[in-house]
Amino acid sequence: MADHIAVYWDFENVHASLYELMNGAGSYKQGRYLRQTDIVDVEALMNFILPIGPVAVNRAYANWAWFSAYASDFMNYTIDLIQLFPRGAHAKNGADIRMCVDIIEDINAFPHVGKVVIVGGDSDYIAVCQKLRQKGKDVIGIGVREATNRFWIASCNEFKFYDNLVRVSRPATSDPIKQMEAAVASDISDAKKLLVNAVARISSMKAEQFARMSALKLTMLQLDPAFDEATYGYRTFADFVNACTDVVTVRQGQYEKHIFLLENAPPQDVIEPPTPLEYYKRILKQQQVKLVRPDLFIQLCEAVCLSAKDGPFTSWDDFMDRVKTCLPSEALTQVVDADFTRLKHLLFRNFVFHFNTEQNRISIAENLQSPGDLVVHVFRNIIKRLLGQPDLRWDSKLVSELLYGNDWHAAEVEEWYRDIRGNSVDQPAEPGH
């Protein structure tokens, strides 16, 4: 559940930064207490935020007497407006302090929030960012490039500059000359050094000569939270990497791109050696079925049937505790909690359990009370799931190795295969079929 987002806007900070960028340093103070025009592209920022995940909290802080021009934007995105009346001559840090207090309170109250987006460029947020990261939350900062504190940028897990988000959100309406100027002004040599550093780090950690594309950008953001390919005029991260041919070489692996440092690049595309069993595992993974280690599964099935003799289970915790107590001590030392969880999911996905909703009880289907019946039922259902793949390359020995850990049962597996092929293969069999 910890995938929701909380968004906090130091709205006047962003508005004032853009105003001074347009009208000169210090110009905002002269007209601060007048009705402001709409210059912050709220939609562009929300276009970046919304794909990250569901927004649980969305609050903006300012003296809203002067910002009515943004009313439609706030209503479109259900932004909660926090009214701050100015105190003293300058009202210094009023929004910053209130925001920081609310962020800490919200994080303690809403454990389902896993990411926090802070829109603002002040160094005042460094302390609250440190607290958030101590609590395991990801912090994404957004600020105006020319008015953002560099130490605040370094504190975040990821930082986005306002102009990049606008350029990505509205490429058709953005001024192409300004886009080109921004790309030229940004020194891509720094980004290339960062890329080389990230590839080298991943290669060292994985003991491989390459870095996988899926891991590369995350590592670059860990090294520099402000990295953004849009800064250099590239639409996607892959476009940026493909353009850095003077420092890296891109090769196609079996499943994704591999990035080599230029001196380590192989002469041709590298294809990972295919693992036959991976083909079957990938089919099952697409159906959210993960197998228990073959050397443990039969022992666990014996423990399941033995524990079921004491009656229905009152909960999943009860199921796991009773199965553990029925395992031999030498087997128990080899099993971790993840194995029990995978066992529960595997049996559930293959229709082993019967649920009594009135009594809130879980039991094993009546015709699966013996370990042999239970194992055969699960294995036949796994074969049936494999047969649902239109282009299946059937190999009884490989499937026997998948299920049992060896090919000794290939004849039995082939017999199940032929029997199942003679019946419907649309759905996994219910218990007893």
Distances (CA, A) of 203 to 155, 212, 246, 344: 26, 9, 18, 37
Stated length of the chain: 433
Q: Which CATH superfamily is domain 188-264 in?
A: LOTUS domain-like (3.30.420.610)
What are the strands of the beta sheet with 210-212, ordered from one edge? 210-212, 257-261, 248-252
Q: Give the number of other CB atoms < 10 A from CB of residue 154.
A: 14
> Which residue type occupies 433?
H
Q: How far apart (Å, rounded) are the C-alpha atoms in residues 119 and 77?
A: 15
* CA gap 368, 361 in Å, rounded: 17
Q: Is 257 helix (H, G, I), strand (E, B) or coil?
A: strand
- Phi, psi angle pair for 224, to nearest 5°: -145, 100
The confidence score (pLDDT) of residue 115 equals: 94
Note the pLDDT of residue 267: 65
Q: For residue 378, what pLDDT is reported?
A: 93
Which listed CATH number (2.70.150.10, 1.10.10.10, 3.40.50.1010, 3.30.70.1450) goes with 4-174?
3.40.50.1010
Contacts of residue 148, defined as CB under 8 A and 6 or more positions apart, other chains included, come to 121, 141, 159, 161
Helix (H) or strand (E) holding 163: helix 162-169
Domain ranges within the chain, ordered by starting residue: 4-174, 188-264, 277-421
How does DSSP classify residue 387?
H
Strand ranges inside 204-360, DSSP E: 210-212, 248-252, 257-261, 353-356
Q: Checking DSSP bridges between strand 138-143 and strand 158-161, what pairing results, if any?
A: parallel
At 319, give phi and psi (nearest 5°): -60, -50
pLDDT at 268 (0 to 100): 63
What is the structure's pLDDT at 142?
Answer: 94
Of 377, 428, 423, 422, the closest CA to residue 403 belongs to 377
Model pLDDT, residue 125:
92
pLDDT at position 18: 92
Predicted pLDDT of residue 431: 43
Average pLDDT across each block of 10 residues of the chain; the chain has 433 residues. List them in order: 84 91 86 87 91 91 89 88 73 76 93 93 91 93 91 92 85 49 60 90 84 88 88 85 89 82 70 66 81 89 92 88 88 81 88 84 90 93 86 86 91 92 55 39
Q: Cβ–Cβ contacts within 10 Å for residue 60, how many?
A: 25
Non-local CB neighbours of 177 within 8 Å, separated by 6+ positions: none
How many other C-beta atoms can be found within 10 angstroms of the C-beta atom of residue 387?
17
Give the C-alpha separation, 122 to 112, whole Å: 27
What CATH class does 277-421 carry? mainly alpha
